[in-house]
Amino acid sequence: MTGEKNVEPGVRLLERLRADVEAIGSMVRRVVDLPWSGRSYAVVMPADIDPLLDRVVDDSEQNLPYWAELWPSGVALADRIERNPEALYGRRVIELGCGLGVTAVAALRAGADLVAADYAAEALALCRLNTHVNSGLLPETVSMNWRAGKAALPAGWDGGFDVVLAADVLYERRDVAPLTDLMWKLLVPGGRVWLAEPARAVAADFLASTRGLGWQWQTEHHPGPWPDAADHGVSVGIHQALPGPYRNTKNQSPTRRRMTTRTTTPRASGDSSRCDADGSGYSATSEMNVESRYSA
């Protein structure tokens, strides 16, 4: 596998990436500050989540547009990578559930050979734009519904990655078994998992389940602050593990979770002068909150 190369002239490439994103709908730009490292990213994201929810109302899998939000876990994992980039330098890395691309930006800046995976084509388009704008690089991107476990893997992917990154991917208990199975199959012997999560009950289930399979987790906590004021007080656990030998896992019964939204009064996005010349072509704007973000 090889990553996508920036062979197009810069202006033409940026125009193509913008066009892909504008096909999704109205976009805005947010400044995302990484507290530990002091870095700031300019992130393009959907202006309104309601049309995205309407598109999946009949989706039998209920693949809700979690990718459209700025989640603390993605910011925390990016911040952790920015603080210790040598951990990913020169390594073959895959991010499961890349969303808007915040963690992917940090991984590329660290020198990772990165594959960014998500089930949503819209997320992959936004990830490509945001990584290009903030790092000057593009990851290889692949559409993958990792809820299928190892069955989601393209041919030849077993055991190909040094690091698996996952930020806030555990929303439902049906996710525990396939995620465990997939992570095991993706890693080379001695490879590592980096998981960031905001203390949801299902994440605790995942950690306990994998400990029972011999995974040894080391954890540190990131207290923020986060881009969305509604996330004040959230502490993100950043967990690293060296999984043991592969064992088969059993599927778990699915649970379902509704994603409800509310629109907030616009507020300033921070010092927008830091991204006025970012080339994204989008103006800085307000926050959008998702209620019940941390329910089980």
Q: Domain containing 200 — which CATH number?
A: 3.40.50.150
Distance, in Å, from the CA atom of 120 to the CA atom of 48, rounded to the nearest integer, reads: 17
pLDDT at 254: 30
d(CA 179, CA 106): 23
For the segment 137-154, what is each residue's pLDDT rounded down to a tens digit? 999 999 988 777 777 777
Cis peptide bond prior to 225, omega within 30° of 0: yes
Please check whether residue 296 lies inside any domain of the structure. no
Count Cβ atoms below 10 Å from residue 120 Cβ, excluding itself.
Answer: 23
CA pair distance 269, 177, nearest whole angstrom: 38
d(CA 248, CA 245): 10
Does the pLDDT at position 155 exceed 70?
Answer: yes
Into how many domains does the chain fold? 1
Enclosing domain of residue 97: 10-286
In a domain, 113, yes or no: yes
Residue 4 in any domain: the answer is no
Nearest by Cα to 242 from 167, 141, 163: 163
User: H-type helices in the chain, by residue range?
Assistant: 10-22, 50-55, 72-83, 102-109, 121-135, 176-186, 201-212
185-209 pLDDT, tens digit per residue, is 899 988 999 999 999 999 999 999 9
User: In this structure, is residue 73 part of a structural domain?
Assistant: yes
Highest mean pLDDT among 41-50, 58-67, 107-116 belongs to 107-116
- Within-domain flag for 2: no
Q: Tokens 């006025």 correspond to what residue?
A: 276
Residue 266 included in any domain:
yes
pTM of the model: 0.81
48, part of any domain? yes
User: Does residue 97 belong to any structural domain of this protein?
Assistant: yes
